[in-house]
Amino acid sequence: MDYINTNFVFLRDLEEIDAHINALSEQKLNITKAIKAKTNARNLNGPDAAQCEALVHAVQDLSGSESIEAVDQLVKNFGDVKILREIRGALQKKLELERENAVLIRAADIESRLNQLSESSPVEEFNAASIAISDIHDESLEKTLRSQLKLVSEPRKAVLQAELTKALEKVKWLAPHEKVTIPAADFKLISSKFTELVDLEALNSIPEYPESWFALQVLLHPFILRFNYHFNQNTETNKISRPEWALNYVETFFSDNHAVLELAIGDAFSKHNRIGIFEVLTAILIPLRDKLTQMLSIINTNIEKSSSEGDTAALDRDGRLLSHLIFETASFDQRLRKNYKYNPFIEVSLAARPHKWAGLTGDILATDGSESSAVNNWLNLEFRLAKSRFETDIVGASNAFEIDYEFNASSDNPSDVLKPSYSAFALVKLFDNLTTHFKSLSIVKYQLKYVSKIQLVLLDDYYNALEKDFRQFNESLSSKLISNFLSGTIKPDSNNAAQTIATNGLKGLEILTGLYCSIKFVIESMEDWSTELVYIQLWNMFCSLSDTKDRDNSIFGATIVQYHGLLDKVIEKYTDFFRREIRGTLKEYVNSCSWIIDDDMKKNNQPSTQLSNFILILPSYMSFLKRSLPELDYFLVSSKVCDSYARVLQEYVISNNQFNKNGLSQLKVDLECLSSYMADYLLMSTNYKYSNIENRNYKRLMQSVKMMEHFDATTAKLLKRNPDSNNDIRAEFTDGLDCLSDNDLRDLLFRIV
């Protein structure tokens, strides 16, 4: 090939091709003669004489053959002799030159045919020349001939354009507000000229989205003129605040005319592996895309100016224009997908999976393949608006963490419904609104940015607000700020002391329960969002772009874990709260009651008066919880209340005192009194869907009293002396005192006097 490139620069050089071939043949003949001359000069009586003679005859026989394979065979027979290498190289040059000679002859013939083409030549002749060029299989020559083909086809293209334009004007093609009946002959002519123009253009190159066919620009010329008049001139319809006018104009035009356009183009595009109506849409979108890009550029310039000048009002105004433009365009894209299944990357053959169309939104938000500043401006505005609403209407509201008792009040099972706080419900509503914003984009990378830079940030901000309130509650619980609702700070003889305790205690419980309902409602919402298709797709896309191994998680996985951690702390705080409240309300009872009671001190089965605080306060707390929490959640909290109630009585009454028979009788009366008030609140019945009747701490308390009642003081002394009596003690009871440890049994024996 180097030889060809050196000796044949222009097609006219082919005139000297025979001279070059003859020169190579002469070179080969001279090589053969040289072999013979050298052989004759050598002493042929030597040991290699016979072999040299044979080589001479072989080369002489080769002079009529140009087979490289024959030379290769000689190399096998006589070895890698230098002269054979030279012969083989000469043969290769000759064969290559002959092949290239044939290519150049064909190229010269094609060039001659191209020179004969004119503006009146049929398109079929241009097509035949194009096919011939494709058979050249020489990149450089093909490129040269393609350029020449394009050049000689321009006059024919101009003639076809003029003929098509004339035919269109004759029938008032795409005339607005007119119903024109096009004669069949005229319609056939339009379709024929259009197809010829498409075929001629396809010979040189087939346009790729977002570019379109020249033939379609001619066919759609009336529409393009009207579009430019309305949206690129100083007219009432050209408003930067109304991108939907341009979008609706295009959509209405296509809806009204796509049937006649489809008839006009016929199957002109199918032979080129394209879907005709999609190609029409691609062409229609060109002026619209240019207009939207221009509007976007103006808005971005204004935003940058407002930002540098610190003009917040102008920044918000322009930001809203940007957001409006993006979402109107995204909605337009969605309608094209839904109504026309439009995707410009789908081909007739479906040989490969088509790219996903990013829509006009994707086109205008990306410049030269890179994101424009519009994306960041848009995300900043969306976040600023959402953040403003978040701070003002959600966490900034005076009733932010109060429970909304009207939530789903009409539900079939209101007791099973988790009632959110006002802020939690508002946050979820805001989140859902934001989701509808980005879902219309259908561009995954922008959706991911939207979720990560706006929605997840708001969830983090709400978590921080919850954590702050919880921390304040925690500090208040041990400080003077709410110490008045802890009964230990109220003097027993204070007027309305119990009522004050209940009122202030409820304030603390409302704060805690408001936090609980807020956290759990947001957790449940995130778990629901995790099952929505859009978030599943985003998570899968995120996993494909990162090295995360936790593919079974969701885009909200880390945030859900964070919220669950705070929820666990709140639940644990219920234990602390009720333990302190129960201790406070029973403080007087614990400190003033004696359990070794003489017969003359018996109360005749009347409960101790010191229980009044407990009886007044605890039911009011539980009533509030029952109203505020779903059935299952109430059960979980009530089980902790039951634990605290039983442990306080076990620790401060039973484990710190001794009892005679009268004392045990009084304790039993007191416990029965407490149970009568608390049984419903603590779910102490098998009739409830969820019950605490098997609560081990409560059973331990009841079994302790039952055991002490069962044995008199004398028997207890005997059993104390026998360390192995535990099994005998358990055998006395049908339940085997299963909630009492052996240490509990030994300790209780010492309580009986």
What is the residue-wise DSSP string for 460-496?
HHHHHHHHHHHHHHHHHHTSTTSGGGSGGGS-TTSTT
Nearest residue to 361 (alpha-carbon basis) of 447, 239, 436: 447
Q: Round to whole Å and give the CA distance between 161 and 166.
A: 8
Q: What residues form DSSP beta bridges with 367?
A: 370
Of the CA atoms within 13 Å of residue 719, those in its CB half-sphere come to 26
> Which residue shows structure tokens 């954590």?
467
Please check whether residue 263 is in contact with residue 182, taking contact to mean a CB–CB distance below 8 angstroms. no
Q: Round to whole Å and give the CA distance between 659 and 414.
A: 47
In the chain the first and final C-alpha atoms are separated, in Å, by 120
Nearest residue to 332 (alpha-carbon basis) of 362, 302, 376: 362
Q: What residues form DSSP beta bridges with 51?
A: none
Q: Round to whole Å and give the CA distance between 329 and 630.
A: 44
Please check whether residue 674 is in contact with residue 611, taking contact to mean a CB–CB distance below 8 angstroms. yes
- What is the overall mean pLDDT for the chain? 86
Which pLDDT score, from 0 to 100, does residue 480 have?
A: 41
Interacting residues of 628 by C-beta distance below 8 A, sequence separation 6+: 403, 405, 419, 513, 517
For residue 748, count CB atoms less than 10 angstroms from its CB and return exposed for 0-12, middle for 13-18, buried for 19 or more: buried
| Residue 543 confidence class, pLDDT cut points 50, 70, 90 | confident
Residue 502, Cα to own-chain centre: how many angstroms? 49
Please check whether residue 9 is in contact with residue 79, taking contact to mean a CB–CB distance below 8 angstroms. no
Distances (CA, A) of 236 to 242, 283, 332, 378, 724: 10, 25, 22, 27, 103
Q: Round to whole Å and give the CA distance between 604 and 752.
A: 21
Q: Round to whole Å and give the CA distance between 138 and 96.
A: 14
Return the structure tokens found at 565: 């951690």
Amino acid type, 623: S
Q: Round to whole Å and give the CA distance between 59 and 360.
A: 73
Domain regions of the chain by residue span: 2-116, 206-371, 379-565, 586-751
Instruction: Encode 10-28: b = buried (16+ Cβ within 10 Å), e = exposed.
Output: eeeeeeebeebeeebeeeb
Which pLDDT score, from 0 to 100, does residue 133 have?
A: 84
Residues in the chain: 753
Residue 190 has pLDDT above 50, yes or no: yes
Residue 60 has pLDDT above 70, yes or no: no
Is the bond preceding 210 in cis, omega lying within 30 degrees of 0?
A: yes
Please check whether residue 173 is in contact with residue 222, taking contact to mean a CB–CB distance below 8 angstroms. yes
Distances (CA, A) of 176 to 169, 173, 222, 237, 411: 13, 9, 9, 17, 55
Please check whether residue 592 is in contact with residue 670, taking contact to mean a CB–CB distance below 8 angstroms. no
Please check whether residue 602 is in contact with residue 664, taking contact to mean a CB–CB distance below 8 angstroms. no
Residue 494 has pLDDT above 60, yes or no: no
Residue 412 has pLDDT above 80, yes or no: no
Q: What mean pLDDT do residues 666-670 have?
A: 95
Q: Round to whole Å and give the CA distance between 487 and 666.
A: 24
Residue 53 has pLDDT above 80, yes or no: no
> Per mean pLDDT, which of 277-281, 348-352, 599-603 is the most reliable?
277-281
| Residue 490 confidence class, pLDDT cut points 50, 70, 90 | very low
Residue 398 has pLDDT above 80, yes or no: yes
Longest CA pairwise span in the chain (Å): 156
Residue 524 has pLDDT above 60, yes or no: yes
Please check whether residue 198 is in contact with residue 268, taking contact to mean a CB–CB distance below 8 angstroms. yes
Which pLDDT score, from 0 to 100, does residue 97 have?
A: 75
Q: Between 184 and 73, where is the model more confident?
A: 184
| Residue 8 confidence class, pLDDT cut points 50, 70, 90 | very low
**What pLDDT digit, counting tens, does each position of 296-327 carry?**
999 999 999 998 998 989 999 999 999 999 99
For residue 33, count CB atoms less than 10 angstroms from its CB and return exposed for 0-12, middle for 13-18, buried for 19 or more: exposed
Interacting residues of 677 by C-beta distance below 8 A, sequence separation 6+: 615, 618, 619
| Residue 221 confidence class, pLDDT cut points 50, 70, 90 | very high
Which pLDDT score, from 0 to 100, does residue 42 have?
A: 46
| Residue 282 confidence class, pLDDT cut points 50, 70, 90 | very high
Q: What mean pLDDT do residues 661-669 have?
A: 94
| Residue 51 confidence class, pLDDT cut points 50, 70, 90 | low
Fold topology of 586-751? Methane Monooxygenase Hydroxylase; Chain G, domain 1 (1.20.58)
Which pLDDT score, from 0 to 100, does residue 504 have?
A: 80
Q: What mean pLDDT do residues 345-370 have?
A: 81
Q: Round to whole Å and give the CA distance between 620 and 681.
A: 10
Q: Round to whole Å and give the CA distance between 203 and 129.
A: 9
Q: Round to whole Å and give the CA distance between 220 and 168.
A: 10
Return the structure tokens found at 628: 């505020």
Q: What residues form DSSP beta bridges with 371?
A: 366
Return the structure tokens found at 622: 């539980």
What is the percent of the chain with per-residue pLDDT over 90, rounded to a whole number? 63
| Residue 77 confidence class, pLDDT cut points 50, 70, 90 | confident
Please check whether residue 403 is in contact with residue 628, taking contact to mean a CB–CB distance below 8 angstroms. yes
Return the structure tokens found at 239: 């408003």
Please check whether residue 416 is in contact with residue 631, taking contact to mean a CB–CB distance below 8 angstroms. yes
Interacting residues of 344 by C-beta distance below 8 A, sequence separation 6+: 209, 210, 278, 279, 281, 282, 357
Q: What mean pLDDT do residues 191-195 have?
A: 96
| Residue 291 confidence class, pLDDT cut points 50, 70, 90 | very high
**What pLDDT digit, counting tens, does each position of 578-606 carry?**
999 999 999 999 998 899 998 877 767 89
Which pLDDT score, from 0 to 100, does residue 475 have?
A: 86
| Residue 108 confidence class, pLDDT cut points 50, 70, 90 | confident
Please check whether residue 656 is in contact with residue 664, taking contact to mean a CB–CB distance below 8 angstroms. no
Q: What residues form DSSP beta bridges with 403?
A: 421
Interacting residues of 578 by C-beta distance below 8 A, sequence separation 6+: 621, 640, 641, 644, 645
Return the structure tokens found at 168: 């269109």
Q: Round to whole Å and give the CA distance between 64 and 52.
A: 20
What is the percent of the chain with per-residue pLDDT over 70, rounded to a whole number? 85
